[in-house]
Amino acid sequence: MDVVYTHVCGLDVHKKNVVACVITPETKEIRTFSTMTDDLILLVDWIKSNGCTHVAMESTASFWKPIYNLLELEDIQTLVVNAKSIKNVPGRKTDVKDAEWIASLLRHGLLQGSFIPNRDQRELRELIRYRRSLIDERAREVNRIQKVLEGANIKLSSVASDVLGKSGRAMIEAMIAGEENPELLSELTQRRLKNKKAELQRALNGLMGNHQKLMLAAQLRHIDYLDDEIGRLDEEIKRRMLPFEEDLELLDTIPGVARRTAETIAAEIGTDMDQFPSAAHLCSWAGLCPGQNESAGKRKSGKTRKGNKRLRSALVEAARAAARTKNTYLSSQYHRIAARRGANRAAVAVAHSILMIAYYILKRRQPYMELGPTYYEERKRDTIIRQSIKKLESLGLKVTVESAVS
C-alpha cells in the first residue's frame, strides 16, 4: 500500500499509561508513558522531536481527553478514531502491537477521525449534558415521591396530574407537618383542582406514618436542591449561548423544537455545517438513519446504528412534541408512519427529518418554512386519485372526477 503520511504516531491509551509508536522513514520506536500531565507533556515533546505530523488514538472512554487537550495546542493533526474502525490482528493482542497497528493504519491513510469540536463547544456540551442528567434525576425523584405516597395509601396522583404542582406541593408539605385531615388538606388546592375537592378528600384519606414523612421531607429537599442547580446551569448556558442567539431563534422555528432542544442541537453539532459533507452524513453520524444489512440478496435487520445518544434522545423527544402540533408537515408525517410502522419508528423518522431541517436552517441561515399537513398528498396527487378511483370501481361504482370550483 502507498504511504500517505511519512511521520506518524499511534497511541494505545489506557487509564494509567499510554503506549506510543512512532513510525518515520528512518525508524520505528515504541515507548510507554504515564497518563499524569507531566509525563504526557514529555510524550508530546517526544512526538514533536520525531517530526510527527499526524497522531491517532482510539476513543477509549474519556481517557483520550487529557492527551487530546495537549495535542490540540500543537501543530499536529490528531485523530480520535472509533475503536470499531481499528481491527487488530487476531492472536497478537498486546498494548505494543495495538499502538504499532494504529500507527501503521494511520501511515497508510486508513483511519478516519471522529468529529471532535473545539474546547469551548466541548465545555458547552458538558454543561448541557449535565443539566439533562439533573433533569432526569429530578424526574426519578418525583417518581419516588409517588411511590412513597402509594405506600401510605395516598392516591394523590390519581386525581392531580402533577403531584408536585403548587397544590400537590402544598398538600404534601402539610402532611409532612402532621396534618392528616383530608378536608383541611383539600382546602389547599388552587385553580382547576378546586373542582375535585370531593375526589381529593377520598384520595388523601391514607395511613401517613413517621417513616413516610421522613422520606417525603428528604425527597422534597433533594428536588429543591436539583431545581437550584438546574437554575444555575441554565444561567451559565444562557451566557455561553449569547453568540448563537440568532441560530437558536432559527432552530426554534421548527415545530417541536423548544429552547432547550435548540441549545442541545447547537452544542452537539455546532453551528458551522461545513464540517459535515451533507445532511445525510450528519443524520448517519447521529444514528438516525436505517442500518444496511444485506446478504445473499436478503435484507436483514435495518435497525438504526449507534450514534450520538444525547442528540438522538433530544430529537426523538422533539419529534413526539411535533406529533402533537396541529396542521404541520411533521405531525402529518408522524401519524402517517405510525399507522403503518408504529409510534417508535415514526418518532425516529420525524427526528431524522428535524435534524435534516436543522442542517439546512443552520447552513442557509433561513427560518423553517412550513410545508403544510397535505404536502405529501399533494406531491402524489395523481397517484392518490388513480388509486382511489380503482378502489371505488372494484366495488362496482362508476366514478367521475371533476375539479372543485375555486
CATH number at residue 41: 3.30.420.40
Question: pLDDT, tens digit, for every residue of 367-380?
Answer: 999 999 988 888 88
The C-alpha atoms of residue 65 and residue 114 are separated, in whole angstroms, by: 13
pTM score, two decimals? Answer: 0.84
The pLDDT of residue 120: 92
Are 62 and 155 in the same domain?
Answer: no
Same domain, 202 and 89: no
Same-domain pairing of 56 and 145: no
CA atoms of 348 and 352, how far apart (whole Å): 6
Residue 354, in any domain of the structure: yes
pLDDT digits (tens, 9 = 90+) for 289-316: 887 777 777 877 777 878 889 999 999 9
* Integer Cα distance of 263 and 247 in angstroms: 9
Establish if 114 belongs to a structural domain. Answer: no
225-273 pLDDT, tens per residue? 999 999 999 999 999 999 999 999 999 999 999 999 999 999 999 999 9
Domain tally for the chain? 3
**pLDDT above 90 as % of the chain:** 62
Considering the domain architecture, whether residues 174 and 195 belong to the same structural domain is answered as yes
Q: Does the pLDDT value for residue 90 go beyond 70? A: no
Do 370 and 275 have their domain in common? yes
Please indicate, yes or no, whether residues 142 and 85 belong to a single structural domain of this protein. no
Contact 84, 29 (CB under 8 A): no
Same domain (yes/no): 283, 392: yes
Same domain, 96 and 177: no
In a domain, 245, yes or no: no
Specify if 260 maps to a domain: no
The confidence band for 406, taking pLDDT boundaries of 50, 70 and 90, is low
DSSP type of residue 374? T
Verify that 101 and 158 share a domain, yes or no.
no
Confidence of residue 89 (pLDDT cuts 50, 70, 90): low
Assess whether 138 and 53 both reside in one domain.
Answer: no
Domain ranges, residue 288: 269-293+304-406
- CATH code where residue 143 lies: 1.10.287
What the block records as the C-alpha cell of 118 is 473545539
Chain segment 34-63, per-residue pLDDT in tens = 999 999 999 999 999 999 999 999 888 889
Q: What is the mean pLDDT of the chain?
A: 90
- Are residues 97 and 63 part of one domain? yes
Q: Name, of 188-202, 296-310, 313-327, the range with top average pLDDT.
A: 313-327
Q: What pairs with residue 58 in β-bridges?
A: 81
Nearest 5°: the CA angle 64, 79, 355 is 95
Examine residue 259 and state whether it is found in any structural domain, yes or no. Answer: no
Q: Is residue 112 part of a domain?
A: no
- Calculate helix-pair angle for 210-240, 166-176, nearest 10 degrees: 140
Cell of 91: 492472536
Is 288 within a domain? yes
251: closest CA among 262, 261, 237?
A: 262
275 & 394 share domain: yes
Report how far apart, in Å, the C-alpha atoms of 167 and of each of 159, 175, 191, 201 are: 11, 12, 9, 13
